[in-house]
Amino acid sequence: MSFHNGSGGTVQVVADLAGFYGPGDGFQPETPTRVLDTRNGTGAAKAALGAGSRLPLNLSCKVPAGTRAVVLNVTVTGPQAAGYLTVYPDAAAPPGTSNLNFARGETIANQVIVPLSNGIADFYNGSPGTVQVVADLTGYYGTGPRPRTASSP
């Protein structure tokens, strides 16, 4: 693994190992599909994610049974305060790492690969203010391709 700094200055780099995949865990790309948008109620209530709050997102109807993990493009927009967002398998407590770090008022996106727990991924707002969250499903890891129906491409 290599990191490249393309700027004219120095940077600090932090990398968290989130997991791995091996034989039988093939990646199945999908046409990007919006699965969460707290601004308009897609996938959850139409409301910003509160300070220190968790939002469970059920993806079981979006991916086939046996899906181990999903690939999401996650965007934070309109945060009232600086903080972080963590996406993780449905559980009682969020892990001690972040997927997105943001400043007040910033819109920022990042790709996330998150294991599912009973088809659910949780989003945690680690800031003292509310934040809008958007997520697009771009693929999943499982044991094979999604079965296609007559209307599927």
| Per-residue pLDDT tens over the stretch 100-122 | 999 999 999 999 999 999 999 99
Percentage of the chain exceeding pLDDT 90: 70
The half-sphere exposure of 2 on its side-chain side, counting CA atoms within 13 A, is: 3
CA distance 89 to 50: 19
Instruction: Rounding to the nearest 10 degrees, give the CA dihedral for residues 91, 79, 49, 47.
Output: -160
Residue tagged 């391709």 (tokens):
145
Residue 121, φ and ψ in degrees, nearest 5: -120, 145
Query: Hey, what CATH class is 38-141 in?
Result: mainly beta
Mean pLDDT of the chain: 88
